[in-house]
Amino acid sequence: MFRQSLFTYVVRAMVLLTAIPIHECAHAWASWKQGDPTAKNMGRLTLNPLPHLDLIGSVLMLFTGFGWAKPVPVSTRYYKNVKKGMILTALAGPAANILLALLSMILYKLWCYIIYPAITISFTTASAIAQIFYIMCLLNINLAVFNLIPIPPLDGSRVLTAVLPSHLYYKVMQYERYIIYGVFIILMLGWLDGPLAFLRNAVYSFLNLITAFLG
């Protein structure tokens, strides 16, 4: 049991060092492609995890499988269409995680149904490799789904920004710091487990469906 738990935490740490930088770099790239150099100039258009990791979000990812990183700075004044630009930039991160989840599922199925049966390797090693791909898939789905919740500082709140009247948005943002701690407490109490599990399972089922040809 202890070894299995330790293994899970090691894989989650791998996700922290891979999926989160790719998630945040996708935000920076999407904003940069729309003419905004802010994130690039501040060193956020990078796959180096250090500029992206947030202490609270990282701890949550490690122990719960959900979490967040430091928000990528953007200047919407560079966008030709501000609302469209905000939505595209916000969705770029979760979209990157969905693509990583899809890649992980493809690798998982290739390993389990094609590669492993064709080679000689111990079951323990084969199982560990399969679990790495499987957990990487699940945690990338978790990261995408969690970040689409429409509350600060998550990506869903940036999408909400594009549809909310400005005065309501700024009123919400005044309490962003308190909302972050509220989200932390709610997650630890498990109050979001049901809705998040439903969305996670829906995304997993979709990815499983489109990779069904592999097994």
As a dihedral over the C-alpha atoms of residue 48, residue 179, residue 73, residue 139, rounded to 10 degrees, the angle is 30
The catalytic position among 15, 16, 19, 24 is 24
Task: Give 163's contacts (C-beta < 8 A, 6+ positions apart).
Answer: 83
Short-list 141, 48, 153, 31, CA closest to 92: 31
- Assess whether 176 carries a catalytic annotation: no
Longest dimension (CA), the chain: 64
DSSP per-residue string spanning 62-78: HHHS---BPPPP--GGG
Q: What angle do CA 7, 115, 214 make, to 5 degrees?
A: 95
Task: Give 19's contacts (C-beta < 8 A, 6+ positions apart).
Answer: 97, 100, 136, 139, 140, 143
Short-list 143, 45, 38, 136, CA closest to 93: 143
Residue type, 132: I
Please list the active-site residues. Answer: 24
